[in-house]
Amino acid sequence: MTELCHEGAALREACERVRREGGRVALVPTMGALHAGHLSLARAAREQGADFIALSVFVNPLQFGEGEDLGRYPRTLESDLEACRELGVDLVFAPAREAMYPDGFQTEVRVTGLTQPLEGEHRPGHFDGVTTVVAKLFAKTGRCHAYFGRKDFQQWRVVERMARDLELPVEVVGMPIVREADGLALSSRNRHLSESERERALGISRGLRRVHDAWASGARDAAQLTALVRREVEPTSDKIDYVALRSPETLEPAGDTIDAGVLLIAAHVGQTRLIDNLWLGVDARP
């Protein structure tokens, strides 16, 4: 049975009850429009021993900038609930905007360094919105494991940092990207893609696949590896925000010759902005 609740108090009480009885709580924060990537998080939570899975659905206005796609972001609560039922999620927490940010709300949780490059440059304030809403979700859920997809690699690192710095009793878990059979990383925004845009969007995962294979063959030159992605994405996308090879921990440039790294990309296809990444030596072939 999947329960639906709209109030933070109900989420808190449910989680406290589970823990009182010795159970382990998992939280899967989402903006809804659930796809197999989200569902893999709930499945991982169950497999890793959670006795109770709470999944939040909240399109968080704080993390959308001026001119971004807040209004256009898909909202599909009914089918989200259906998917959660099938998966055995215990509680779906879907608060109203006013419940999360009532009149007079004026607190912000910010991570400074990790939020500056990459998405931070292209979406100023975005991560402040993320960490603020996630801090609220963590406060309500209490001691738990919280599952994030590594498609939002930087977000995962930022949230992990926030939880550690504030000493929240939350274990932040980053799970691998889930892809379509042809390589496209799952994203709620994919439904905005037309058929021809979707075809072009495949340039991204194709580029990452080239990098995966080059790395497997011993390539370690950063410029050469990023060029492999650019070669695929430049002709197929409308604008590249960044292609960057970074340290997986600090997100600082990984150096000229690398022995570890994550290759991150953000690019626009039509009106849709897509992000993707490959954690070298860790992620499966895209």
Sorted by sequence, the CB contacts under 8 Å of residue 165 that are 6+ apart come out as 111
114 vs 225, beta carbon nearer its own copies: 114
Strand ranges of the sheet holding 272-279, from the earlier edge strand across to the other edge: 239-246, 262-269, 272-279
Please answer whether residues 263 and 226 qualify as being in contact, where contact means their C-beta atoms are separated by less than 8 angstroms: yes
78 vs 167, beta carbon nearer its own copies: 167
Scan residues 145-204 and list those touching its own copies (CB under 8 A).
Answer: 161-162, 165-169
Which residues are known catalytic residues? 38
104 vs 235, beta carbon nearer its own copies: 104
- Gap between the Cα atoms of 228 and 214, Å rounded: 9
Based on C-alpha coordinates, what's the Rg of the chain? 19
Least separation, in Å, of the C-beta of 108 and its own copies? 5
The residue from 142, 176, 255, 270 that contacts its own copies (CB under 8 A) is: 142
Reading phi first (left if > 0) and then psi (alpha if -120 to 50, else beta), residue 203 is in alpha
Scan residues 82-141 and list those touching its own copies (CB under 8 A).
Answer: 104-114, 131, 135-136, 139-140
Least separation, in Å, of the C-beta of 54 and its own copies? 14
**Is position 68 an interface residue for its own copies (rule: CB under 8 A)?**
no
Pairing of β 239-246 and β 262-269 = antiparallel
Please answer whether residues 281 and 155 qualify as being in contact, where contact means their C-beta atoms are separated by less than 8 angstroms: no
26 vs 62, beta carbon nearer its own copies: 62
132 vs 205, beta carbon nearer its own copies: 132
How many residues at the interface with its own copies, by CB under 8 A?
Answer: 27
Alpha carbon of 86 to those of 1, 43, 126, 189, 215: distances in Å? 9, 11, 32, 23, 39
- Gap between the Cα atoms of 87 and 82, Å rounded: 9
Please answer whether residues 286 and 183 qualify as being in contact, where contact means their C-beta atoms are separated by less than 8 angstroms: yes
Please answer whether residues 114 and 157 qualify as being in contact, where contact means their C-beta atoms are separated by less than 8 angstroms: yes
In the complex, which residues of this chain contact its own copies (CB under 8 A)? 8, 12, 20, 104-114, 131, 135-136, 139-140, 142, 161-162, 165-169
